[in-house]
Amino acid sequence: MNIPAALAAEFNLTAAQVAATVALIDDGNTIPFIARYRKEATGGIADTVLRDLDERLTYLKNLESRKAEVLRLIEEQGKLTPELTAEIEKAAVLQRVEDLYKPYKQKRATRASKARERGLEPLADTIQAQRLTSGSVAELAAPFVNPELGVDTAADAISGACDIIAERIADDADLTAALRNLTRIRGALVSEATDANEKTVYETYYKYTEPLAKIPNHRVLALNRGENEKKLRVKVQTDSDFFTARIEKDVITNPNSIFAVLLQTTVADSYKRLIAPSLERELRTALTERAETDAIKIFAKNTENLLMTPPVAGARVIAIDPGFRTGCKVAVLSETGRLLDYTTIYPTAPKNDVAGTEKMLQKLIEKHQINVIVIGNGTASRETEEVVAAFLHRAAPQVKYTIVNEAGASVYSASKLASEEYPELDVTTRGAMSLGRRLQDPLAELVKIPPKSIGVGQYQHDLNQGLLEKSLTGVVENCVNRVGVDLNTASASLLTYIAGVNAAIAKNIVAYREENGGFTDRRQLKKVPKLGDKAFGQCAGFLRVAGGKNPLDATSVHPESYSVAAELLKRAGVKDKELAGGGVADIEQRLGANLQELATELNIGLPTLRDIISEIKKPARDPREDAPTVVFSREVRDFNDLVIGMELTGTVRNVVDFGAFVDVGVKQDGLVHISRMSDKFVRHPSDVAAVGDTVRVWVVSLDKERGKVGLSMVKDE
């Protein structure tokens, strides 16, 4: 297989783009580095596409490796033919390679293998040839009777021969492929309850049937979970008569032979005993893999949107982690996230100390010039919010407040990382700090939490954990490198996601910073233990030095392009202080040259030249500026405040296959079903909404018993 050509066709890219990208990947370059600094080679392929291409590259390499292995194994058996070689070499998927290898694969003892050991293969050949139209099958089988081999009667011989034929039918690669495709088209996934009288969340599936070709991914995952929890029995249902008739067309070539009826029985046995169970396993696995792949993509997209939530600059924060019996933990943070104060308040049951809570809030607001209060959305959130909102309305209207998602905060606060960062604080105070910092800089804070604990997916605990971890790690890397980090303030956990930086190097960077009083020049990175030239090349452009010796160190211009950037600044008459003072908005006018001609003159690619000019215009521009801003204050705070038809502003907290969950201020997020997301056809909810979006919604249903809120993004006229 010509892998670059295959990838080019699949991703609608040129062969040159793919060949260059593959060469860069094979040379050990990271995806963020390739996406940002090798645009000339790749043609500007985005980081997300590069990761997909890298994944497919790995698959195709594995496919070619498996082909070579299978060819070797069949060759060692002396059974490899030119025709079989050609079929294996042109296989485009692993499934086809395995189908072709199946007849030659060493199997555990089967009925067919035992029959072969008893010398019954010649009889199977005779039956399958179907040349005889008269005579007795039993008479033909008589010479194969051999009690010493366990063949006591002619019937035993016939039965063993049929077992061999049944296995041959099941091992036919082309027939298997055809039956697999037919099962996908005509089969259905059916489920039933293991105990029809038990009340569970799976009651919808107690007697359920849906075609394999139509079943959506979230239902596949729901059925799998019900089956794993032993609440459901799930199977693939097919019309066996149709399928056996289809197999007979291939197998029974002479309907007038004396073996026709025997072969009909053999076909039915082969399908029921060998083919159908095998295809059911394969198709259930394929459905699960498809569903998991889709769920992981949704999870990854949601995680990306959450991580790219813009930071709230200048926020001096009181962060409250709500609770009942043990009270609400409070952490007070400076604009940079430094802990200024911490305490506990008791606005909720059983103490209901509203007066004490208000007094403490007033004291902290005045002492630390607080302008934002953050409240976690977990247990006691609504009750805490009521007290805080009433207090602010009456005594501190200049202070805004908002709710933040607590998902993963407890994971971080009890982690080894948190105890290393704040050994003197208890886990609850660390948790409150995490909530406040999620508002101030979501990306820097959320990278401290395992991505799958952020809670913006569906069925995350049921998914392939290795694939989920790999995908989410890639998303975090994309986001961190897209934004870039301050070399002198970034935590080790944040630095770990920078291209070319592993956990050991990240710790060494922090240690160097602590020992030497901070970086003043990117080149000092080369003095960090274990950070060699290769790692420097990968990471330098993403690590910023604010206020350093060279103002270019505060931008995303890579050191390899400093000479070009310096020449541009010289031609435009830009002084260092001008660049350091916020950028040069009119750099292109000052240069007064055609960019293509300038790129040729400077011997640099046009994409890189444009990136350098963009950085000179606005150094280290934060791409998160384009994202929706945080919603402050709430319109409602209690389920009982909601009425059908009410119009609300909400924040999208999660996007799943069947819709989006929106926080409108009550404890339970409301669901906007996909059918209510637009007045036009919506292929997938992620086409309409993203995590962090601010949306206008209307209440369309209320289930007080279960605390469920139905919302619509389309106003009901």
Tell me the per-residue pLDDT of 247-260, one tens digit each, with 9 for 90 and over: 999 999 999 999 99
592 φ, ψ (degrees, to nearest 5): 55, 35
Provide φ and ψ at 708, rounded to 5°. -105, 140
DSSP 541-582: GGEE-TT-SSGGGGSS--GGGHHHHHHHHHHHT--HHHHHTT
CATH 2.102.10.10, domain 317-440, yes or no: no
Kindly indicate the confidence band of residue 356, based on its pLDDT and cuts at 50, 70 and 90.
very high
* pLDDT (mean) for 71-97: 95
- C-alpha–C-alpha distance, residues 236 and 211, integer Å: 9
Domain 639-712, architecture per CATH: Beta Barrel (2.40)
All CATH 1.10.10.650 domain ranges of the chain, comma separated, are: 3-104
How many C-beta atoms surround the C-beta of residue 250 within 10 A?
14
Segment 650-676 mean pLDDT: 89
* Structural tokens at position 200: 């569970």
What pLDDT is stored for residue 633 in this prediction?
61
Question: Is-contact 170 193, C-beta < 8 A?
Answer: no
> How far is the CA of 675 from the CAs of 159, 176, 709, 712, in angstroms?
57, 39, 15, 9
Round the average pLDDT of the chain to a whole number and report it: 93
Angle at 493 between CA 488 and CA 495, to 5 degrees: 45
Tell me how far CA of residue 261 lies from CA of 121, 133, 137, 248, in angstroms. 19, 12, 11, 11
CA 493/CA 484 separation, integer angstroms: 14
CATH class of 3-104: mainly alpha
Asked if residue 635 lies in contact with residue 402, where contact means CB atoms within 8 angstroms, the answer is no
For 322-327, the CB contacts below 8 A with 24+ separation are 322/348, 322/375, 322/376, 322/378, 322/379, 322/380, 322/381, 322/383, 322/384, 323/348, 323/379, 323/380, 323/428, 324/348, 324/349, 324/350, 324/379, 324/380, 324/383, 325/350, 326/428, 327/351
Q: What is the pLDDT of residues 564-610, one digit of tens each?
A: 999 999 999 988 888 888 888 999 999 988 999 999 999 999 999 99
| 287 CA to centre of own chain | 17
- What is the architecture of the domain spanning 503-625? Orthogonal Bundle (1.10)
Those residues whose C-beta lies under 8 Å from the C-beta of residue 385, and which sit 6 or more positions away, are 375, 401, 403, 634, 637, 665
Question: What are the backbone angles phi and psi of residue 556, rounded to the nearest 5°?
Answer: -95, 10
Confidence at 717, pLDDT banded by 50, 70, 90: low
Q: Is the pLDDT of residue 263 over 80?
A: yes
| Residue 711, CA distances (Å) to 202, 651, 675, 678, 684 in order | 23, 12, 11, 12, 17
pLDDT, mean of residues 107-131: 95
State the average pLDDT over residues 196-223. 95
Rounded Cα distance, 596 and 588, in Å: 13
Q: How far apart are CA 628 and CA 692, in angstroms?
A: 7
Closest CA to 371 of 342, 401, 351: 401
Q: Provide CATH 1.10.3500.10 ranges for the chain.
A: 111-296
What was the pLDDT predicted at 622? Answer: 86
- What pLDDT is recorded for position 149? 94
**What is the value of pTM for the model shown?**
0.84
Tell the residue number behind the tokens 């996230």, with chain if given. Answer: 337
Q: Which of 410-424, 626-640, 659-673 has the lowest mean pLDDT?
A: 626-640
**Per-residue pLDDT at 634 exceeds 60:** no
Q: Are 512 and 522 in contact (CB under 8 A)?
A: no
Residue 458 has pLDDT above 80, yes or no: no
Q: Which CATH superfamily is domain 111-296 in?
A: Tex N-terminal region-like (1.10.3500.10)
Q: Which of 476, 441, 412, 410 is nearest to 48 (CA)?
A: 476
Residue 163: predicted pLDDT: 97
Residues of the chain with CATH 1.10.150.310: 503-625
